[in-house]
Amino acid sequence: MWFKNVRVYKLSAPLSTDVAVWDQALAEFKFAPLSAQELVRSGFSFPLHPSIKHYSHINGQIIFFAVKRQEKILPAAVINEEMQPKLEALEQEKGRPLSKKEKQSLKEELQLSLLPRAFSRSSLTQGYYDPENQWLVINSSSASKAEDILALLRKALGSLPALPWLDTHKLNTHLQLWLQDKALPQGFSLGSEAELKAPDEEGAKVKFSNHLLSADEVQSHLQDKLVTSISLEQNDNLSLAIADDGAIKRIKFHDLITGQNEELGWEDLTARLDADLLLMTAALNNALLSISQQLTAAE
């Protein structure tokens, strides 16, 4: 339940905080296994634990949800191996090379024929709605995956006025300052990882890991490059990396946070998960709030 990467969205209008309303709405779009001819399918699943069969879960004011995605695995090498003899046979039959459109049609037909024999792979992505900050937080570093989850939520809830939580133009300016150890969010200090890229299309890139970011060899790159990612440390709370598109990656909660509930054990599964969720969301929201306030204060 400890999130590792997040995409955050700001809502312009509040959502219901009635967990019964959420549960009913999400159940209408619950996950069902793939049929033989389907390539991919997504639906809502149980966010807390498979044995706790509710499609939403409330912890304090925060509402948790989860989306399960199942997809068939069809490696390109397998498709190409199956396709080559069919392609050669058709070209011999027609007496000419197949057009690009004909090849694509053949490939699609072949994919459909292979689907019933393909293995399937499932993944679960959790998220939560925070009514106090009007945030939707998705446990994923992928913008496209997060947008797919937002689209499913929009279908279920009927309306979802959500936009990325940070103005990327302001963020880009602040990333340059943060690497210079200037105007950092409250409670944060520089980490030891950074990525920079020259602004032209084929610009040079440089990546630093486990490095003193204040060193001259790092700072000198600010003359001709833009910061695309930087790691930050927040006291005894957590560490993270923030990218220039607003994605938060490589979140690591401090042992002082993650170890607080060890004495509770796991006899009462719901109570233990609830306790961990409370710690996780408090720590993560504290960090997100500090970052967003820093950008807002600079307006």
pTM for this one? 0.85
Cα–Cα separations (whole angstroms), residue 276 to 65, 261, 269, 279? 16, 7, 11, 5
Tell me: do 176 and 240 sit in the same domain.
yes
Tell me: do 89 and 50 sit in the same domain.
no
Neighbours of 282 (CB within 10 A): 13
- 2 assigned to some structural domain: no
Tell me: do 174 and 66 sit in the same domain.
no
- 174 assigned to some structural domain: yes
- Per-block mean pLDDT, blocks of 10 residues, the chain (299 long): 95 94 96 85 94 93 96 82 86 87 86 80 95 96 95 94 92 95 94 94 90 94 95 94 96 93 90 94 96 81
Residue 298, pLDDT score: 58
Tell me: do 199 and 277 sit in the same domain.
yes
- 153 assigned to some structural domain: yes
Structural domain that includes position 101:
78-112
Residue 107, pLDDT score: 87
Number of domains in the chain: 3
Tell me: do 97 and 150 sit in the same domain.
no
Tell me: do 132 and 263 sit in the same domain.
no
Tell me: do 142 and 258 sit in the same domain.
no
Tell me: do 29 and 130 sit in the same domain.
yes
Tokens of 108: 């699609």
Tell me: do 160 and 172 sit in the same domain.
no
